[in-house]
């Protein structure tokens, strides 16, 4: 039996990435997001129009997507509720967001020069995708404050142990992306880390993270 419902979010499960973009002062802004999908060498990204990342990319289209694996989840969560914009909506403020300009330092992440632009990429990230934003389109109507960004991937850098023998394929058995599912972190189908974002969205706690399962002493 099924019920008709109106979920607060529709994050059925997408990979987490860290976006590097260029701030007006030339520094690199680092922002976590989890609405990304790929087709060929095009990446589609979904974000709120008030995000500093979107403002940066409107003016300077260079971008690096730093893909995240489960080993990075603690660092990622440290910056999940940080913003690079001093101007913040009341809804963001109510969810616990804080303005911190240097999110590399806040997350304990290491800067690494990208190859095609002056942006810093994330050294700990096992896969870095460098490129440019080709188009930004409003989605969901004028009151949604959401947009879809089309990225052209121009350079792919992959940690060597994830590559198959001919270097043209990434080994799907070795690459384990960190997944965000309904604002919670998952790896290998299991919860990976308590999520600050889920608390900010006032999501009900998951039983597996808050109480022992059947038969647990």
If you average pLDDT over each of 108-112, 187-191, 211-215, which comes out highest? 108-112
Tokens of 2: 């099924």
Torsion, Cα 68 69 72 78, to 10 degrees, reads 50
Prediction pTM value: 0.87
pLDDT at residue 214 is higher than 60: no
As a whole number, the mean pLDDT across the chain is 88
Inter-residue contact 32 to 21 (CB < 8 Å): no
What's the pLDDT tens digit per position in 86-126?
A: 777 777 777 778 888 899 999 999 999 999 999 999 999 99
Average pLDDT of the residues in 208-213: 47
Q: What is the pLDDT of residues 129-173, one digit of tens each?
A: 999 999 999 998 878 889 999 999 999 999 999 999 777 899 999
The pLDDT tens digits for 3-37 are: 888 887 787 889 999 999 999 999 999 999 999 99
Q: Are 84 and 31 in contact (CB under 8 A)?
A: yes
pLDDT of 216 over the 90 cut: no
Band of the pLDDT at 212, cuts 50, 70, 90? very low
Find out whether 65 and 43 touch, Cβ atoms under 8 Å.
yes
CB 152 within 8 Å of CB 62: no
Domain ranges of the chain: 14-210
Q: Look at residue 158 in the predicted model and tell me its pLDDT.
A: 96
Q: What are the start-end ranges of the E strands in the chain?
A: 14-15, 17-22, 28-33, 36-39, 42-48, 62-67, 82-83, 98-99, 111-113, 120-122, 127-139, 146-158, 179-181, 184-187, 190-193
For the domain 14-210, what is the CATH code?
A: 2.30.110.10
């Amino acid at each position: 039996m099924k019920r008709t419902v109106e979920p607060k979010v529709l994050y059925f499960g997408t990979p987490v990435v860290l976006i590097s973009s260029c701030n007006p002062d030339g520094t690199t802004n680092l922002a976590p997001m989890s609405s990304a999908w790929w087709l060929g060498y095009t990446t589609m990204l979904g974000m709120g129009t008030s995000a500093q990342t979107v403002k940066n990319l409107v003016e300077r289209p260079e971008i690096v997507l730093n893909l995240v694996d489960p080993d990075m989840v603690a660092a990622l969560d440290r910056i999940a509720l940080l913003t690079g914009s001093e101007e913040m909506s009341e809804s963001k403020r109510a969810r616990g967001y804080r303005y911190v300009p240097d999110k590399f330092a806040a997350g304990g992440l290491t800067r690494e020069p990208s190859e095609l632009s002056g942006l810093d990429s994330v050294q700990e990230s096992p896969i870095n995708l460098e490129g440019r934003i080709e188009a930004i389109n409003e989605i969901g109507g004028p009151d949604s404050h959401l947009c879809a960004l089309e990225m052209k991937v121009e350079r792919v850098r992959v940690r060597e142990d994830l590559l198959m023998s001919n270097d043209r394929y990434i080994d799907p058995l070795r690459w384990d992306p960190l997944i965000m599912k309904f604002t919670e972190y998952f790896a290998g189908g299991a919860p990976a880390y308590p999520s600050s974002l889920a608390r900010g969205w006032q999501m009900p706690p998951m039983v597996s993270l808050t109480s022992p399962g059947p038969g647990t002493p």
